[in-house]
Structure 1
Amino acid sequence: MLPQTETSGDRVARLERRLQRERRAREEAEWLLEAKSLELYNANSHLTALANDLEMRVLDRTHELEVSRQQALFLAERDPLTTLANRVSFARDLDAAIRTAQAHGGSVQLLFADLDRFKEINDTYGHAVGDAVLLEVASRLSTICRGTEMAGRLGGDEFGVICITPVESERARQIATEIMEAMSKPIDCGRLQLIVSCSVGFANFPRDASDSPTLQRFADVALYHSKSSGRSTWTEFDDTMAAELHSRQGLEVELRAAVAAGEIEPWYQPIISAESNRIVGVEALARWQHAERGLILPGLFIPLAEESSLIVELGRAMIDRCCQEIHPLIRDGRLDYVSINLSPRHLRSPSVVEQVLKILARHDFPPSALQLEITESLLLFDFEQAEQRLSQFRTRGVRIALDDFGAGYSSLSYIRRLPLDVIKIDRSFARDISDDRQSEAVVKAIVQLAQALDLQIVAEGIETESQAERMTSCGCSIQQGYLFGRPMPLNELMRHLKAKGS
């Protein structure tokens, strides 16, 4: 059968169908392309958002790190409480100031200021009040400083001021005077109004020192001079202090050798019972018989030992020698006890109790025959630690005496808490009791306090019969002083006891 011939109409229809298929295919392709484009657009937008978010996070973290770095740099340079320069930054700025002065022919005046008895504020009112005081002191120092002058907190309650001046400037004296005036104004601590005095010492470059370490040491020497002169004053370093410092440094070296060689020896001062006229005990006092300088009294070398921490070794050596020398007198009943001073620094030594107990055991010395004397200055340090150490001594039979009672900052709360056996009344009361009714009344009050707390009373500084009689009439029959004997070496003590019939 022959194929039919396609008509023109069929051909047109066929072409139209083909065109429609192509149009649908193109539309589907365009739709698919648009969908894919939209999908790619959305994906790209999401990636862009993620990238932007990541970038923001990176920027935020970078900012945080920079802030942390700046804070770390600040803390490395500044005191965190007062924001003044800290010790490290202050020392570096002092070096820079000296270089500037060297280059331009000026001078650097360095002041050290130290608050007087600041620890009492912390102990009495708490560290929050102490911090408030430090903040206000820092603010007042910053107000005093002008221009390129800089204040810093060097640690604790010690501050410093650096100023670059012309060579003949009196600026350091002016600053010291302004500090004294500023500290005379009360510090507002909420409900408290506190007046905090301070001591100031200063030195000058290049007049006094040629470098930073020496300048700091000389300013510190001047500060120490202010404190030893009664506090609440300022002192300018001079050549006399330089000579004293050189002498002290030489003496310190000799003292260390003397302690190591056992050249510091105890001298003994009698303690008597006025009722029986018997020597009941002796107080051991350190003496240094120097080969060239002669007899050196403790007022000169004990502070040196305290400053150099040699006092711990010296204290141990004194206790050891006293127990060795006095033991025969205790054993034979010629004395009841020996009283030995224990410095605050020695008491803070972690091994002090163990040290003393070993000494007692080595000499077979009865603990009840050893009396350790502490001073009220001990109360300005770590009272809790002191109370713990003294309690350890007390539980082992060692007697504890509070020396110079009434001369400092006696606190009844401290007296009640401390494990004491004896109160030694300061010699100033004996000096005034003959012609001062107030002193007599105070002594009677102290005796009544001691009796209420079951403590023994010893009166120090008795030099006349009248003083002895007055003290006895006040109820204080255990006495010590030149009237009964000055401090003496062991051989003289033996003769003295024999003369007294002991």
Structure 2
Amino acid sequence: TLEDKVAQRTKELEVATAHAYKLAQHDILTGLPNRSLLNQRLKQILAQALRDSTQVACLFLDFDHFKRINDTLGHDAGDQLLQAIAQRLTKAVRESDTVARLGGDEFVLVLPSLGASDATFEVMAVISRVRDSFVEPFQLSDQIPTLTCSIGVAIYPVDAPDVVTLIKQADTAMYAAKESGRNAYQFYTADMNARVQKRLQLETDMRRALQENEFFLVYQPQIEMQTGRPRGVEALLRWRDPERGLVPPAEFIPVAEESGMIQPLGERVLRDACRQVMQWHREGMMLRLSVNLSVQQLQHENWVSVVQGALMESGLSPHYLDLEITESVIITHADKALNTLQRLKHLGVTITIDDFGTGYSSLSYLARLPIHGVKVDQRFVRGLEQNRNDEAIAQAIIALSHSLGLRCTAEGVETDAQFNFLREHGCEEAQGHLITPPLHEREFRGWWQRHEAAFASGKRQADLWQTGST
């Protein structure tokens, strides 16, 4: 009958409306409450807490290096990983708690009805269960990634009077956890806002600096230890901010890596350095160029093309370009690293492992890599005069490099004693403040000319630069 058809149609519309409402309130991928539903629930929870004189904890979670893992695994596997994360978080919290996904790899946990005396204890118990839930690796087809997360905690009404501020303060605390070394948690404190604002301002200023060419290169020579002749030069990035002055690389490089600016910055460094070294080649300064390669650059699909373009544009021969990559990057991104390094080798570019001895590479794995050199990390060089362990490690690295047929370079050489120890034990090349600090292009040219003049006059000892000689 007509009445039956109307009733059926009405029921279908009600079901469709309820489904549409659920979609609007939940994350499609994980099924968790989304930001809209989180805000609604939090508003109700805070109102109840106000009536009951209880506290509410908001935990903001961000997974460490998730974008890097997602790019490595592929986005389909990344989606599976997010679904598995949602399941583990849901199992780790109490039944009364809320788990929501804001987007990307950002999740929020809400812990309601906490007593003032035991709120911290309850929060710590949940944090402990959450962190324990990620100890076991995830099983994704042939990949088995392990995740860690940074957690920020804010408490209502202690840290914030309303929903928006509570989430904001938890987010601020999460950034503080990342700054403390990741795989960590932080409770919100009032001074965190200033630190986060400082970090955000630094990122903003770096983007402006990139546009206005405030970044520049300096060059540090790598000399042959037996003869003292310059064989290579490492290009190092520097930034002079109009207000801050010279900003330490340790301050701006991590921000560049986290924000994605390392891609355009790295491309500019490579292009400008290749152009400069090629100009020196035309003047008879036949130096090998070393440029640092970050994990983000190594994983970038177009990075080999970027290298190829820089070489073609400058005219620099590939065998004069040496890319330095840290040992930890090779270990943690083995398959991706090996593929990219093989492609770079095919171009004729050489590869050096930087900071060697600080990772956990197996000898069999090192032997398979298309590398041409290793650099003894400066922390071992620094300890040569005081620490027998550092002396033993430096000797072992030099011996290992020789057994694998690799060039060995020591970085951070600052004293005559360090230089002599390394030379006596067979280290081929060195760089550091003993030889010269990093120099601007004109200063480097002058340094080269003084040393060439000294060699031309017959002074061919390796102590040309030692103890006030230049």
Normalised TM-score (structure 2): 0.75
From the superposition, tell whether residues 357 and 242 of structure 1 become closer, same or farther in structure 2 (CA, over 3 Å): same
Q: Does 1:99 align with 2:47?
A: no
Secondary structure in 1 aligned to 2:277? helix
RMSD: 4.3
- The one-letter code sitting in structure 2 at the alignment partner of 1:112 is F
Which secondary structure does the structure 2 equivalent of 1:239 belong to?
A: coil
The answer as to whether partners of 1:184 and 1:196 remain within 8 angstroms in 2 is: no
Q: Does 1:259 align with 2:210?
A: yes
Unaligned 5+ segments in structure 1 are 1-61, 190-194
Give the match's secondary structure for 2:452.
Answer: coil
1:325 maps to amino acid: Q
Match of residue 111 from structure 1: 59
Q: 1:365/1:77 Cα in 2 relative to 1: closer, same or farther (>3 Å)?
A: same
Shift of 1:235: 1.0
Matched letter for residue 110 of structure 1:
C
| Matched position secondary structure for 2:353 | strand
Q: CA deviation at 1:230?
A: 3.8
- Greater shift after overlay, 160-169 or 258-267? 160-169
Structure 1 437/117 Cα, relative in aligned 2: closer, same or farther at 3 Å? farther
Matched residue, 1:243: 194
Q: CA separation in 2, counterparts of 1:90 and 1:412?
A: 48
Q: Is the 8 A contact 1:347 1:389 kept in 2?
A: yes
Separation in 2, partners of 1:178, 1:241: 23
The answer as to whether partners of 1:115 and 1:199 remain within 8 angstroms in 2 is yes
Does the alignment pair 1:410 with 2:358? no
**2:246 is equivalent to residue 295 of structure 1:** yes
Match of 1:421 among 368, 372, 386: 372
Contact 1:180–1:233, Cα closer than 8 Å, also in 2:
no
Match for residue 112 of structure 2?
Answer: 164
Report the secondary structure of 1:288's partner residue: strand
Counterpart AA for 1:109: A
Higher mean alpha-carbon deviation, 431-440 vs 390-399, is at 431-440
Q: In the TM superposition, what whole-angstrom CA distance separates every residue of 1:318-368 from its partner, at most 9, and x where no partner exists?
A: 112112222222333434212111222123222222222222222211222
Q: State the secondary structure of the residue aligned to 2:307.
A: helix
Check the 8 A contact 2:60/2:109 in 1, yes or no: yes
- The answer on 1:438 being equivalent to 2:393 is no
Q: Which has the higher helix share?
A: 1
Letter in 2 for 1:481: G
Does residue 368 of the first structure (1) align with residue 319 of the second (2)?
Answer: yes
1:394 pairs with one of 337, 345, 348: 345
CA drift at 1:450: 2.0
- Does the CA-based 8 Å contact 1:368-1:397 persist in structure 2? yes
Rate the CA distance shift 1:440–1:290 in 2: closer, same or farther, 3 A: same
Quick check: which has more Rg, 1 or 2? 1
Q: 2:127 aligns with which of 165, 173, 179?
A: 179
Match of 1:500, SS state, is helix
Q: Distance in 1 between matches of 2:440 and 2:115?
A: 55
- The alignment status of 1:283 with 2:220, answered yes or no, reads no
Aligned pair in 2 of structure 1 residues 488, 154: CA closer, same or farther (>3 Å)? same
* Percent identity of paired positions between Structure 1 and Structure 2: 33
Change (3 A) 1:314 1:186: closer
Structure 1's 369 and 208: CA in aligned 2 closer, same or farther, altered over 3 A?
farther
Instruction: Identify which range, 229-238 or 281-290, moves more after superposition.
Output: 229-238
Aligned counterparts, 1:469-480, within 5 A: 469-480=420-431
Work out the CA distance in 2 between the residues paired with 1:187 and 1:316. Answer: 37
Deviations 1:230-278 (A, max 9, x none): 4554211223221122122222222112112222001112222211112
Task: Show the 5 A alignment for 1:181-220.
Answer: 183=131, 199-204=150-155, 208=159, 215-216=166-167, 218-220=169-171
Determine if contact 2:266/2:297 at 8 Å carries over to the other structure. Answer: yes
In structure 2, relative to structure 1, the CA distance for the partners of 1:153 and 1:98 (3 Å cut) is closer
Partner of 1:501: 452
Letter in 2 for 1:337: R
Query: Are the aligned partners of 1:344 and 1:377 in contact in 2 as well (CA < 8 Å)?
Result: no
CA contact (8 A) 1:458 1:476 kept: yes
Once residues 397 and 448 of structure 1 are traced to their aligned partners in structure 2, the CA distance between those partners, rounded to angstroms, is: 26
Per the alignment, do residues 261 and 156 of structure 1 end up closer, same or farther by CA in structure 2, a change over 3 Å counting? closer
Q: Which deviations, in whole Å up to 9, do the C-alpha atoms of 1:422-463 show, x marking residues without a partner?
A: 211221111223232222222233223322332211112222
Q: Which amino acid aligns with 2:123?
A: I
Aligned-partner Cα distance in 1 for 2:304–2:130: 45
Q: Distance in 1 between matches of 2:339 and 2:194?
A: 42
Bigger drift between 167-176 and 458-467 goes to 167-176
**Contact 1:269-1:283 at 8 Å conserved across structures:** yes
**Residue 345 (1) aligns with residue 293 (2):** no
Q: Give the letter for the 1:98 counterpart.
A: L
Secondary structure of the 2:60 match is strand
Query: How far apart in 2 are the matches of 1:169 and 1:213?
Result: 25
2:209 maps to a residue whose letter is A
1:260 to 1:177, Cα distance in 2 relative to 1, 3 A: same
Q: Deviations for 1:99-128, whole angstroms, at most 9, x for unmatched residues?
A: 1255346464221356778999xx9xxx9x
In structure 1, the residue corresponding to 2:301 is in which secondary structure? coil
CA contact (8 A) 1:394 1:419 kept: yes
SS in structure 2 of the partner of residue 265 of structure 1: strand
**Residues in 2 aligned to 1:354 and 1:410: alpha-carbon distance in whole angstroms:** 28
Query: Any idea what SS the aligned residue of 2:191 has?
Result: helix
8 Å CA contact 1:136–1:187 kept in 2: the answer is no
Equivalent pairs counted in the alignment come to: 428
2:465 alignment partner in structure 1? none
Cα deviation code 1:170-217 (max 9, x no counterpart): 62564235534775799689xxxxx98764322345665677676555
Within 1, Cα distance between the matches of 2:437 and 2:324? 18
1:354 to 305, 329, 339: 305
**Partner Cα separation in structure 2 for residue 212 and residue 344 of structure 1:** 37
Question: Structure 1's 101 and 340: CA in aligned 2 closer, same or farther, altered over 3 A?
Answer: same
Q: Which runs of 5+ in 2 are unaligned?
A: 1-10, 138-145, 454-470
Q: Which residue of 1 aligns with 2:223?
A: 272
- Contact 2:176 2:196 (8 Å CA) reproduced: no
Contact 1:290/1:296 (<8 A) preserved: yes
**Alignment partner, residue 141 of structure 2:** none
